[in-house]
Structure 1
Amino acid sequence: MLTFIALAMILVFILSLSMRKLNVFGALTIVPFVFGVIAALVKGKSVLDVFTWIKNGIFYTQNATTGKVSMGVISPAIIILFAVLFFGVMLYAGLFDPLSEFFIKKAKGDPLKVTLATVLVASVVTLNGDTTTTIIIVIAAFLSLWKQMNMKLIYLAIIVVTPIGIFNQLPWGGPTIAAATALDVEISTLFASILPGMLVAEVYAIFMAYWLGKKERKRLNFDPKTTAELHPEVLQEMLNAIRENEPEKKRPKLFWFNLGLTILVLTLLLMDVVHGSVLFMLGTAIALKVNYWDVPTAKGILDDLAPDALPPALATLAAGAFSGILGGSGMSAALATSIAGIIPSGLGAHMAPIYAIIAAPAITFLPQDAFYFGIASVLAGVMGQFGISPDQAAVASMVGQSFRLISPVIPALYMLCERTETNFVDFQKEYTKYAWPILFIYLIVHTVTGAMPL
């Protein structure tokens, strides 16, 4: 009976998001609460137990026998809150501007240099973890140049989203937060496991941009031996897209301080010396005080960043209701046992790569939270019965991120296609055509490093 209730809860959860009947926050709280009450009544438990399950999902639980403590979602929620604020402050202060301007100036009139500059600028800007911001800034900087040179705008769309899909897996990115929260693993551990694959994927993204640039050279009959230069007005227009993006908030004189602070925070984060939430909280406070000295200005910056920081943090906290009820009610264990019972024993040991491949379309066409909390969290329990650890299951669940950036449920992609005058379906086809190797890069690298069992 619990298996049936769990399946019904997951189905209603996914449909409520897919059909836009509830937002993420509502779906992660209302749906599990209703089904949690049903599960409590079926088990003969008090309805008040549902509130305990939610509390445990948000904060922590302790095994009465072993004494082991399992953290809830409070830790990743605080990390994502302060990480978004930290990188938002750095983006406003103009930390990434000099590098972006350098790449733009080096592009000149060579299609190959333009594609490489585009992918490098996108890779730098997307470090803040926000898809929409990256698309807005990069398209604003490069669209006029691509049009002037008569380059294929669909290539521009592909080159922009490829690094976004890779660097969305940084510790403050939505997918990593969702995977770590849903599967109850440490964000730092998960990130350390997937980082080698991300780096190799970024090398491929640069190679892909190089390849597309070579194709455009050939199509446009461009001779790299010529001394073609950008028209000064076009170059200035591109640079202005960077420089005039809220110029009153930029602090160019504090570039070296901001760079040093960012490197220090990221280094300590990767070394796991201090918890990420503490690092980003202190980093945000210091960055705000140094860059925006007076209190009203600093408050204004926080107010401006609130729409970016609050929704993912609230969704992460709300995920505690979902995971807490799914686990506390026994639905998760019942569902995992039922699925494990129908899997041939010879196939079970190889579930990680199989799951990683078949999960790619699921993570593409389902809302991210629907996938991680509705599917990945359950299948992690199934894989656990075949000796696959939660950390390894989390790594396998991230492989599908290679195709996440063609998802029809990401609104920013429609803006991208509109600006690049590209049909959305054509964009999906072209991205798949050129970016499919990233899926196998993740599979190979994760297997070689031991992050995911074969």
Structure 2
Amino acid sequence: MLTFLALAMIVSFIVLLAQKKLSVFGALTIVPFIFGILVVLLTDASFMDLFRWIQDALFFKVNAETGKVSMGVISPGLLILFAVLYFDVMLNVGLFDPLCEFFIKKAKGDPLKVTMSTVLTATAVTMNGDTTTTIIIMVAAFLSLYKQLGMKLSYLAVIIVTPIGIFNQLPWGGPTIAAATAMGVPVSELFAALLPGMLAAEVFAIAMAYYFGVKERKRLNWSKEQMKDIDSGVMEGMLQAIREKEPELKRPQYYWVNLIMTFGILTMLILEVAHGAILFMLGTAIALTLNYKNSGLVNERLDDLASDALAPALATLGAGVFSGVLSGSGMALALAQSITMLIPESIGPHMAPLYAIIATPAIVFLPQDAFYFGISNVMADVMGQYGISTMGAAVASMVGQSFRLISPVIPALYMLTDHTEQNFVSFQFTYAKYAWPILVIYLVGYSLTGVLPI
């Protein structure tokens, strides 16, 4: 019965979310609460148990036998809240502007320099973890240049989204938060496991941009002797796309202070000096006070930035209801045991890489939270039956992020394909044609580092 209820709950969650009948926050809270009530009515559990399951998943629970404390979703929820706020402030004050302008100026009229500048600028801009913002800035900065030089706009689209897909896996990125929360692993430890693969993938992204640049040089018959300079008006327009994005919020006079503070926070985060939520909370308070000083203006900035930070934080907290009911009621264990019975014994210990590959289409076509909270957390229990650690399962669930940025459920991609004059399917095929090695890089890299058991 618990297996049936678990399946019904997961399917209901995915369908309602995919058809946009409920918001992410609503689906993560209302659906499991209803099924939790059904568990109470059909088993010996009480309503007090239902609220305890949710409380344990939200805050913390203590193992009665070992005394070990397992933190709930409030920990990653606070991290994402303050990390998004901090990087939104840094984007507003212009922390990334000089780097972007440097790459744009270096591009000049050389197609190779243009593609290299594109990938490096996209990498810098996407560090704030926001897909839509990165696409808006990159299209505004580079589209006219590609058109003037006659370069393929399909290459522009692929070069833009590739770094986004990689660096969405930063500790304040949605996928990492969702995977860590769904499977109950520390965000910092999951990020440490993912980092070598991310860096290798970024090297590939740069190499791919270099390849595109060489191809465009040949196709356009470009040579140093016949160099086609960029029109000064076009160059100025590209730079203005960076400079004129909310100029009243820029604070160039504090550039070095903001840069040093950001590097300091990231260093302490990697060294685990303190919890990321504490570091970014203090950083946000200091950054707002330093850059805007007036309390009224600081409050205005918080009001404006709240929508960016609140939605993912609420979704993370809502996930506590989902994971708490699924696990606390015994539905997750029952479903995992049922799935285990269907898996041949010889495959079980080696299912992590197989799951990583098979799950990739689900990551592409399902809403992210639907995948991590509806599928991957259950599969973690299944893999646990064969001795695969929860961290190994979490890493396996992240491999498919190599193709996440061609998902039809990401609205900003439709804007990108419209501006680069492609239909969505052709964009998907172009990305898959050139970027598929990232999937291999993740599989091989994580296997070599030992975080993905084979």
Equivalent residue runs for 1:42-441 within 5 Å: 42-441=42-441
Task: Measure, in 2, the Cα distance between the counterparts of 1:40 and 1:443.
Answer: 42
Deviates more, 1:88-97 or 1:339-348: 339-348
For the residue of structure 2 that corresponds to 1:451, the secondary structure is coil
Deviation by residue 1:321-365 (Cα, 9 ceiling, x = unmatched)? 000000110001111111111111110110110011111101000
Task: Measure, in 2, the Cα distance between the counterparts of 1:419 and 1:304.
Answer: 27
Task: Measure, in 2, the Cα distance between the counterparts of 1:403 and 1:377.
Answer: 20
TM superposition shift of 1:252: 0.6
Task: Measure, in 2, the Cα distance between the counterparts of 1:45 and 1:445.
Answer: 45
Task: Measure, in 1, the Cα distance between the counterparts of 2:6 and 2:68.
Answer: 26
Q: After TM superposition, where is structure 1 displaced by more than 6 Å over at least 4 residues in a row?
A: none
Assess if the C-alpha contact under 8 Å between 2:110 and 2:227 holds in 1: no
Task: Measure, in 2, the Cα distance between the counterparts of 1:138 and 1:50.
Answer: 47
Task: Measure, in 2, the Cα distance between the counterparts of 1:408 and 1:159.
Answer: 18
For the residue of structure 1 that corresponds to 2:70, the secondary structure is strand
Deviates more, 1:214-223 or 1:108-117: 214-223
Q: Which amino acid aligns with 2:10?
A: I
Q: Which amino acid aligns with 1:265?
A: I
TM superposition shift of 1:414: 0.7
For the residue of structure 2 that corresponds to 1:196, the secondary structure is helix
Task: Measure, in 2, the Cα distance between the counterparts of 1:152 and 1:43.
Answer: 61
Deviates more, 1:194-203 or 1:60-69: 60-69
Task: Measure, in 1, the Cα distance between the counterparts of 2:70 and 2:224.
Answer: 59
Deviates more, 1:273-282 or 1:50-59: 50-59
TM superposition shift of 1:44: 2.1
Name structure 2 gaps, 5 residues minimum: none
For the residue of structure 2 that corresponds to 1:61, the secondary structure is strand
For the residue of structure 1 that corresponds to 2:440, the secondary structure is helix
Q: Which amino acid aligns with 1:5?
A: L
TM superposition shift of 1:63: 1.5
Instruction: Establish whether residue 17 from structure 1 lines up as the match of residue 13 from structure 2.
Output: no
- Counterpart of 1:5 in structure 2 is 5
TM superposition shift of 1:413: 0.5
- How high is the TM-score relative to the length of structure 2? 0.99
Once the two structures are aligned, what percentage of the paired residues are identical? Answer: 66
Aligned length: 454
Q: Which amino acid aligns with 2:96?
A: F
Q: Which amino acid aligns with 2:430?
A: E
Task: Measure, in 1, the Cα distance between the counterparts of 2:214 and 2:332.
Answer: 51
TM superposition shift of 1:227: 3.8
Q: Which amino acid aligns with 2:362?
A: A
Task: Measure, in 1, the Cα distance between the counterparts of 2:224 and 2:278.
Answer: 50
Deviation by residue 1:120-175 (Cα, 9 ceiling, x = unmatched)? 10000000000000000011000111111111111111110000000000000000
Deviation by residue 1:277-297 (Cα, 9 ceiling, x = unmatched)? 000000101111111110111
TM superposition shift of 1:70: 1.3
Deviates more, 1:33-42 or 1:373-382: 33-42
TM superposition shift of 1:55: 1.1
TM superposition shift of 1:226: 3.6
For the residue of structure 2 that corresponds to 1:48, the secondary structure is helix
For the residue of structure 2 that corresponds to 1:391, the secondary structure is helix
Deviates more, 1:293-302 or 1:168-177: 293-302
For the residue of structure 2 that corresponds to 1:346, the secondary structure is coil
Task: Measure, in 1, the Cα distance between the counterparts of 2:403 and 2:227.
Answer: 38
Name structure 1 gaps, 5 residues minimum: none
Task: Measure, in 2, the Cα distance between the counterparts of 1:234 and 1:201.
Answer: 32
Task: Measure, in 1, the Cα distance between the counterparts of 2:15 and 2:219.
Answer: 45
For the residue of structure 1 that corresponds to 2:61, the secondary structure is strand
For the residue of structure 1 that corresponds to 2:302, the secondary structure is helix
TM superposition shift of 1:225: 4.3
For the residue of structure 2 that corresponds to 1:70, the secondary structure is strand
TM superposition shift of 1:381: 0.3
TM superposition shift of 1:228: 3.1
Task: Measure, in 1, the Cα distance between the counterparts of 2:80 and 2:30.
Answer: 23
For the residue of structure 2 that corresponds to 1:422, the secondary structure is coil
TM superposition shift of 1:48: 3.3
Deviation by residue 1:385-413 (Cα, 9 ceiling, x = unmatched)? 11111111111110000000000000111
- How high is the TM-score relative to the length of structure 1? 0.99
Alignment RMSD: 0.8
Deviation by residue 1:264-321 (Cα, 9 ceiling, x = unmatched)? 0000000111110000000101111111110111111111111110000000000000
TM superposition shift of 1:84: 0.3
Task: Measure, in 1, the Cα distance between the counterparts of 2:203 and 2:237.
Answer: 29
- Counterpart of 1:452 in structure 2 is 452
